[in-house]
């Protein structure tokens, strides 16, 4: 079958141009419509956002005015702030109850304590008391020096006490000799973690020292002091 093109070339070019114009016009209309829809959405979002911000401002002003009209609002806020600071204050206070349990762990069974002064700010302790012999005093000093501790967050052993000094000692009878009862005074510094209420402390006492805990004895750790009749000195 033979087909004859009866349209001149210029007519064909004109038809193709019209098709291209219609295609471009259709695309332009679609793009314009999409742009108009996008513009309407942005305007709607902007209007809704402004309305939302206006509502929030109104609510804030309303609640603020309501609080200002509340009687004794300043006292209420003061109490609330104090309540919120209780946890911080509690974590900052020393665990003073450990003082008695720790002393039982580290004090030799033959040593008694007559007086105990502790300075939580300077982290120092002064211990004075009596014991059966001067050898027990020396044992107590060595025990304090060699005692270590670990915490629930750190398993590495650290010295519990530093600068342990036997500041004074004396015989409590007229007869001299190691078999006579003696009194003592010891000063020392302790590691800040010992009384940190936020940590769990485990003390390790030298195995050569027999304390009230290891001896399973419940005799009084604190006793009234005996008068010193002779002898005094110091040891570091």
Q: What is the DSSP string of 51-113?
A: HHHHHHHHHHHHHHHHHHTSTTHHHHHHHHHHHHTHHHHHHHSB-TTHHHHHHHHHSBTTEEE
* DSSP-based helix, strand, coil % in the chain, nearest 5: 45, 25, 35
| Residue-level pLDDT at 213 | 52
| Residue-level pLDDT at 186 | 94
Q: Distance of CA 202 to CAs 58, 92, 109, 133, 211, Å?
A: 58, 20, 20, 29, 16
Taking the C-alpha atoms of residue 102 and residue 112, their distance in angstroms, rounded to an integer, is 14
pTM exceeds cut of 0.75: no
Containing 228, the helix (H) or strand (E) segment is none
| Residue-level pLDDT at 85 | 63
Among candidate residues 124, 110, 201, the one with its CA nearest the CA of residue 158: 201
| Residue-level pLDDT at 165 | 93
| Residue-level pLDDT at 162 | 92
| Residue-level pLDDT at 220 | 57
Beta bridge partners of 230: 171
Q: Kindly state the tokens that stand for 102.
A: 């720790």
| Residue-level pLDDT at 184 | 93
User: Mean pLDDT per segment of 10 residues, for the chain of length 236 residues?
Assistant: 60 77 87 89 85 86 77 70 63 70 82 89 90 89 91 88 91 59 91 84 77 52 50 47
């Amino acid at each position: 079958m033979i087909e004859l093109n009866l349209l001149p070339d210029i007519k064909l070019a004109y038809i193709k141009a019209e098709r291209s114009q219609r295609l471009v016009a259709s695309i332009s209309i679609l793009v314009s419509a999409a742009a108009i829809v996008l513009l309407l959405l942005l305007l709607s979002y902007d209007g809704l956002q402004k309305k939302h911000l206006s509502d929030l401002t109104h609510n804030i002003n309303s609640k603020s005015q309501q609080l200002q009209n509340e009687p004794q609002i300043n006292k209420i806020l003061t109490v609330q702030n104090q309540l919120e600071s209780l946890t911080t204050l509690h974590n900052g206070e020393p665990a003073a109850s450990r003082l008695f349990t720790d002393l039982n762990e580290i004090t030799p069974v033959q040593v008694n304590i007559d007086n105990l002064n502790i300075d939580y700010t300077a982290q120092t302790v002064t211990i004075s008391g009596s014991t059966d012999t001067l050898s027990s005093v020396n044992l107590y000093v060595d025990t304090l020096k060699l005692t270590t501790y670990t915490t629930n967050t750190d398993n590495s052993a650290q010295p519990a006490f530093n600068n342990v000094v036997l500041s004074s000692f004396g015989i409590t009878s007229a007869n001299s000799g190691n078999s006579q009862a003696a009194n003592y005074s010891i000063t020392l510094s302790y590691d800040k973690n010992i009384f940190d209420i936020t940590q769990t402390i485990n003390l390790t006492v030298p195995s050569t020292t027999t304390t009230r805990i290891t001896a399973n004895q419940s005799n009084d750790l604190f006793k009234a002091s005996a008068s010193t009749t002779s002898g005094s000195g110091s040891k570091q």
